[in-house]
Amino acid sequence: MTRSTVTPGTVIDGFTVGDCVHSGGMATLWSVTHEGISVPLLMKIPRVSEGEDPAAIVSFEMEQMILPRLSGPHVPACFGTGDFARQAYVVIERIPGETLYKRLPDLPIAYEEARALVASMAAALADLHQQNVIHHDIKPSSIMFRRSGEAVLIDYGLSHHTQLPDLLQEEFRLPYGTAPYMAPERLLGRRDDPRSDLFSLGVLLYFFTTGVRPFGESETLRGMRRRLWRDPRPPRKLRADYPPWLQEVVLRCLEIEPVWRYPSASQLAFELNNPDQVKLTARSERLQRDPLSTVWRRRFNPELTLPRVKADMAAQLASSPIVAVALDTVEGSQELNSALRMTAERILATLPAARLACVNILKLGRITIDRTLDEQGHNKHIHRMVALKHWASPLKLDENRLTVHVLEAVDPAAAILEFAEANHVDHIIIGARGDSMLRSLLGSVSAKVAAEASCTVTVVRPPRRAALAVQDEKADRMFASGQPGS
């Protein structure tokens, strides 16, 4: 391994080095160009001179292994890597703009702005976790935003890939990371739980909305270990106007035990995108920290000082999807809605951490003025929300697993697709309507959703026996009224 002698003008594997953009404690960043690549590029080169922290070298190896395997808008594109035999480097796209670190002088920021920012970060984490990677260094300086609005996660030197060797775990016993954002289980040597990233995101949300870090600035191992048994002050203790729903989200992210946090980043993003649907518990009302009796119980709980069973990240994420069922509470047949409920029940029975979103479309006219009240004088929106809750009541779901949504739209299929995309829905359940000449010419809502959705779609038909019974009943009515049959 040779000492880096990179200077402006140096050519490395076809990359021409330009100016030094940043000189950090573990690596330097250089602007580079390449004849066959048109996007702006950065070359990251590790510090390998005498006296440098060996962890810097190991973390760079991790980044070299992980970055080329990642894709999508939430990660920087990787264009090349070099080994330590000649010159170690990673070339990535240069994301325009600054990291969130530049926002620290503005703290605390408005609640709505913080909600939108962290919702985007949670969506980015959800995508990263689906690619088998836990970031383990979520903090303001590792987050950027594209001009199109997507959050981009950078710096993967401390990350864990479930399908690659974890060199940091194998070679070092001390936890590496940024102390104020580190999850409690990381202090016990656990690096295989994606909910560790949700804890870090909770720290960031707390910090950005209160201006104070929930666990202070301590960087000593002794100081950090206090979070294994000591909870932070509730945000409402710091700011009297703190929204209860936001405190519910923040404190759930900051639970000491991972099992009490959100089961996935997708579900956290869902809550932040739908704050009116957040189910409030005692967390939302708290003004004081846990009593000392609870703290001492945690302090001397032997289970908290022992590593847990190795987590299966893929199984955990697969068991906590977001399932959306699209219902017609006005014109939908009872048989079809019953069949939809049976299908949802079968799916949820195997997914104990799944969230169910019941969706109804309040169809708007393209040129008409739509009335908010129906013929009986009921508010259409509220009436349909009640109907959705009534439909879901036989499922007996915990209130934290159920939300209802009435969407106003001209195009029902487009509204369902947009809802699924915005909320990272994993599975859509939708009913198939009966045949008609109009639908055969224009296509059905379910057909469009099934054809264009980026997630799994289950199209449900009522049992044939029930459908025949409906047809017989319709024929009987037509016969009794003297109308000719079809």
d(CA 214, CA 205): 10
For residue 404, list its beta bridge partners.
358
Contact 198, 253 (CB under 8 A): yes
Average pLDDT of every residue of the chain: 87
d(CA 345, CA 340): 9
State the number of CA atoms in the 13 A half-sphere of 300 facing the CB. 5
d(CA 50, CA 52): 6
At 193, the pLDDT band (50, 70, 90 cuts) reads very high
Structural tokens at position 386: 């009640």
Q: Tell me the CA distances in angstroms from 372 to 231, 332, 383, one per residue in order.
A: 46, 20, 11
Span 277-289, average pLDDT:
95
What are the tens digits of pLDDT across the range 246-272? 999 999 999 999 999 999 999 999 999
d(CA 354, CA 398): 11
Residues with Cβ within 8 Å of residue 469, at least 6 apart in sequence: 335
Angle, CA 468 vertex, CA 463 and CA 471 arms, to 5°: 130
Phi-psi domain of 216 (left: phi exceeds 0; alpha: psi -120 through 50; beta: other): left
Question: Peptide bond before 108: cis, by omega within 30 degrees of 0?
Answer: yes
- pLDDT at residue 151 greater than cutoff 50: yes
Span 435-446, average pLDDT:
59
Span 210-227, average pLDDT:
87
State the number of CA atoms in the 13 A half-sphere of 19 facing the CB. 3
What are the tens digits of pLDDT across the range 326-350? 998 777 688 999 999 999 999 999 8
Span 183-205, average pLDDT:
95
- pLDDT at residue 358 greater than cutoff 80: yes
State the number of CA atoms in the 13 A half-sphere of 472 facing the CB. 6
| pLDDT score recorded for residue 3 | 54
Q: Where do the domains of the chain lie, and which CATH numbers do they carry? A: 11-93 (3.30.200.20), 100-317 (1.10.510.10), 321-471 (3.40.50.620)
| pLDDT score recorded for residue 224 | 87
- The residue among 170, 168, 198 whose CA lies nearest residue 184 is 198
At 380, the pLDDT band (50, 70, 90 cuts) reads confident
The number of beta carbons lying within 10 Å of the beta carbon of residue 420 is 24
Contact 322, 357 (CB under 8 A): yes
| pLDDT score recorded for residue 464 | 67
| pLDDT score recorded for residue 479 | 39
| pLDDT score recorded for residue 472 | 46
- The residue among 91, 6, 98 whose CA lies nearest residue 47 is 6
| pLDDT score recorded for residue 110 | 98
- The residue among 158, 185, 187 whose CA lies nearest residue 66 is 158
| pLDDT score recorded for residue 362 | 86
What are the tens digits of pLDDT across the range 87-128? 899 999 999 999 999 999 999 999 999 999 999 999 999 999
At 475, the pLDDT band (50, 70, 90 cuts) reads very low
Lowest mean pLDDT among 78-82, 98-102, 111-115, 224-228: 224-228
| pLDDT score recorded for residue 167 | 85
Q: Tell me what percent of the residues of the chain surpass a pLDDT of 90.
A: 62
Q: Which residue's structure tokens are 């970031």?
A: 135
At 18, the pLDDT band (50, 70, 90 cuts) reads very high
Residues with Cβ within 8 Å of residue 63, at least 6 apart in sequence: 44, 90, 155, 156, 157, 159
Span 14-32, average pLDDT:
91
At 474, the pLDDT band (50, 70, 90 cuts) reads very low
The single-letter code of the amino acid at 409 is A
443 or 440, which is more confident? 443
Angle, CA 91 vertex, CA 90 and CA 93 arms, to 5°: 135
d(CA 475, CA 38): 68
| pLDDT score recorded for residue 465 | 54
| pLDDT score recorded for residue 217 | 80
| pLDDT score recorded for residue 383 | 85
**DSSP code per residue over 230-295:** -PPPPHHHH-TT--HHHHHHHHHHT-SSGGGS-S-HHHHHHHHH-GGGPPP-GGGG--SPPPHHHH
| pLDDT score recorded for residue 470 | 43
| pLDDT score recorded for residue 425 | 95
- pLDDT at residue 213 greater than cutoff 70: yes
At 467, the pLDDT band (50, 70, 90 cuts) reads very low
- pLDDT at residue 379 greater than cutoff 80: no
- pLDDT at residue 308 greater than cutoff 80: no
| pLDDT score recorded for residue 471 | 46
d(CA 45, CA 389): 56
Whole-prediction pTM value? Answer: 0.87
